[in-house]
Amino acid sequence: MTRSRHAQPDGAARKKRGRPARLSREMILLAALELLKTTDARDLTLTAIAKSLHTVPMSLYNHVRDLDDIMAGVAERVLADLPDLDDLEEAGWQDILTNWMSNLSEHLSGHPQAIQIFAYNNQVSAAWMGALSPVIRALRKEGLDGAELVMATSWVAESCAAIVLIQASASIEQQRISLDTLHALREKDRREVLHFMQQQRGVTPEDYLAFCQQRMLDSVAAIIEGAS
């Protein structure tokens, strides 16, 4: 009996092409978050997100309204597990702000790229404002309101965001200056840099965070005192 050229050998398993995974809003948000690791939020497009999911841009509209909706969803997802400070409601504002800053820095260390979308396209995300609410509440209890409240809260938030980005781009250890590059400096500059490098060996990222927290507390204390 002659076997057809297209027939499979006896006992061979037929290989079936698997169906692509069903697209979902969660998949889209995760894809956008992953792309933000290497793409500036201003350059992220629906086309790029769709391409990373092996689909076409139009298919995304079955799950999201537009790019703004995606950015808001990513912000909400990143901040969803941020520890609350409900148990510190009666604590002093210093403890609340210090804990808030530590929690946010640790929480965002895995997704530092998400910071750029908390205020995307001139719109501050509701999730980010919700995350800021313990700071706002603590400062209001100290009598801050109006411009002082807005500026103090914004300064605390932006300071924390800057710390996260600095630590993500290069830790204290990664910022060590190569001795091989010092020969290009003038002698008096080289002496200062060498002294700085010696002192730098004893500074950890935790030390830097504590330093920034204390400077933040000092500045907010001055604002509160000036408003009273």
> Are 85 and 55 spatial neighbours (Cβ–Cβ below 8 Å)?
no
* pLDDT value for 183: 81
Q: Where in the chain is the domain with CATH 1.10.357.10?
A: 82-227
For 25-64, give the CATH class: mainly alpha
For the ranges 74-78, 93-97, 182-186, the lowest mean pLDDT is seen at 182-186
Residues 120, 28: Cα–Cα separation, whole Å: 17
Token digits of residue 60: 């995304």
Q: Where in the chain is the domain with CATH 1.10.10?
A: 25-64
Token digits of residue 41: 């939020």
Question: Per-residue pLDDT for 171 more than 60?
Answer: no
State the fold for domain 82-227: Tetracycline Repressor; domain 2 (1.10.357)
Mean pLDDT of 177-186: 75
The residue that leads in pLDDT, 145 or 85, is: 145
pLDDT tens string 7-66: 454 544 444 444 456 899 999 999 999 999 889 888 999 999 999 999 999 999 999 999
* pLDDT value for 180: 67
Burial annotation 113-136 (CB, 10 A radius, 16+ → b, else e)? bbbbbbbbeeeebebbeebbebbb
Token digits of residue 167: 């630590």
pLDDT tens string 108-157: 888 888 888 988 888 889 999 999 999 999 999 999 999 999 999 998 99
* pLDDT value for 136: 96
The pLDDT > 90 percentage for the chain reads: 50
